[in-house]
Amino acid sequence: MKKFAVLLYLSFAHLFIQNPSINLVRDLTIGDGEINTDIYFSPWVQHLYVDDAGNIFVADRDQAKVFQFSKTGELVNETGRRGRGPGEFIGLTPNTWLSGDTLFTYDSDLFRITSFNITDNTVINTNVLDLKIDEDNIFYQPYRLFYNLQRKNIVFKLTSPYSGGTENIERFEKFIALDNNLEIINNNLLLLPADETYINDRGSSITVSGLLPFARKSKAVQGIGNYGNHLCYGWTEDISLECIDMYSGETLVSINLEYNNTPVTNQDLNNELSIFPESGNLNRSEIRQAIKHRTWPAFDWFVLDDVGNFWLAVNDVNREMYSLYKISYEGELLGVIPFPKSDQIHIIRDGFAYSISESEMGEKLILRYKITSN
């Protein structure tokens, strides 16, 4: 097996040689108590936003606040508090946007878009959604919001419930586009399959037990800067990505890279299954059966940077690290560098990569890397 792994590694080695000059050097950490001693981030911190001046915005559902940090990492503002009143949050979602001094937020529990003036934290506007998307008896809920700063339009990611019925329904993620007045302009911008889940359908009802190990997932991200109108998506089975315009739905770019999925070894399988309980509904042997003959997903996440390059966290034979592929807008592989699996990059702009990682205490950390290339 080791020999096979080496052979596989060698088959990809040319990628590493192709452009060894890209380098990521960490230059800022927020949330470890170094700069702001009493700031920590909960596991609900899953995304961040960076404005033109390099200010970093972090929305934390658990703390019901959007934190604003300066380019040097100092806390400069906190917006929102817990509650159901104006300017308050129950289910603050991780995605936020800044347009001038206006900060846009979305609460997926209160179905409410709130915009704030960040100079004095006053509420500019609160819009409660009245979206009833019910198709074929599947009721979709608005779960994530993407804001197109260029056209001032909104895209909602809606999800159908995993269960609750008496039969196993096929699940989707549906994207719809709304204009600035929250009128639907495209009811079917995008339809993606939902992440692969392990569903226990014994008995007379269905119970969702978790994501399948090595599950294939839908990944949809928004570009930034000049590419802020790009909604890009892919299915983690292979390296095929497509971007559409967030307003018109027009296809803007498609890229496709040849890739052979890395086989799952017994060791991989055991590592993955070790966190699941031995017994109960989430039964290890059943999961093992469900995922035998699996391969690793081609990638786990990707971003589109401010100059139109895609950066993909690819799973290959090195189990400890991702191979971070940098791919041009035209689909050319520009380079590959190793990247820690504990990190996920969310934004790349102005020569910096902004990622979310974890401290030893398990809390989220915001990391910034300076991207250098010769």
Partner 1 sequence: MLKKITISNALTVILALCALFITGLIVQRIFSPPVNTAQIENSNIREIENWEELGIENLQTYSANAELNILKFYDYECPFCKQSQTYIDEVNKKYKGNVNFVYVHFPRLTHELAFNAAVASECARNQEVFEEYHALLFKNQENLDQVSFSRLAIQADVKNITEFNNCIDQEITRDIINQNIALANRLKVNVIPSYLINGILISGILTTEELEEYIFNE
Residues that bind partner 1 (CB under 8 A): 40, 42-44, 46, 61-62, 82-83, 90-91, 94, 109, 143, 159, 161-164, 195, 197, 200, 202-208, 210-211, 274-278, 280-282, 342, 358, 361-364
CB of 151 to partner 1, least distance (A): 27
CA separation for the pair 74, 78 (Å, rounded): 12
Residue number, 250 or 278, with CB nearest to partner 1: 278
Q: Tokens standing for 328?
A: 């041009």
Task: Provide, rounded to whole angstroms, the least separation between the CB of residue 329 and partner 1.
Answer: 30
Kindly state the smallest distance separating residue 363's Cβ from partner 1, in Å.
5
Q: Are 69 and 51 in contact (CB under 8 A)?
A: no
In sequence order, what are the beta bridge partners of 338?
323
- Of 43 and 100, CB closest to partner 1: 43
Smallest distance, Å, CB 276 to partner 1? Answer: 7
CA dihedral sign, ordered 206, 208, 214, 219: positive
Query: Toward partner 1, which CB reaches closer, 53 or 277?
Result: 277
- Of the pair 51, 300, the CB lying nearest partner 1 is at 300
- For residues 183 and 362, which CB has a smaller minimum distance to partner 1 in the complex? 362
CB of 198 to partner 1, least distance (A): 9
Which of 181, 277 has the CB closer to partner 1? 277
C-beta of 305 vs 343, nearer to partner 1? 343
**Amino acid letter at 99?**
S
SS3 208: strand
Which helix (H) or strand (E) covers residue 8, if one does?
helix 2-18
Six-digit token pair at 91? 């289910």
The C-alpha atoms of residue 230 and residue 330 are separated, in whole angstroms, by: 15
Tokens 């709130």: give the residue: 114
200-235: b or e for each residue (b if 16 or more CB lie within 10 Å)?
beeeeebebbeebbbebbbbbbbbbbebbbbbbbbe
Closest CB to partner 1 among residues 44, 329: 44
CB atoms within 10 A of CB 271: 12
Q: How far is the CB of 342 from partner 1 (least distance, A)?
A: 6
d(CA 203, CA 86): 44
Residue among 312, 275, 272 at smallest CA distance from 292: 272
**CB-CB contact of 141 with 132 (8 Å):** no
Give residue for tokens 């992440």.
195
Let me know how long the chain is: 374
Beta bridge partners of 148: 153
Smaller CB distance to partner 1: residue 91 or 338?
Answer: 91
User: CB count, 10 Å around CB of 132?
Assistant: 7
Distance CA 199, CA 208 (A): 5
Shortest distance in whole angstroms from residue 36 CB to partner 1: 15
Question: Tokens 């509650």 correspond to what residue?
Answer: 83
Q: Which is nearer to partner 1, 51 or 286 (CB)?
A: 286
CA pair distance 178, 322, nearest whole angstrom: 36
* Min dist. Cβ of residue 190 to partner 1 (A): 17
Least Cβ distance, residue 245 to partner 1 (angstroms) = 26
Shortest Å distance, C-beta 207 to partner 1: 4
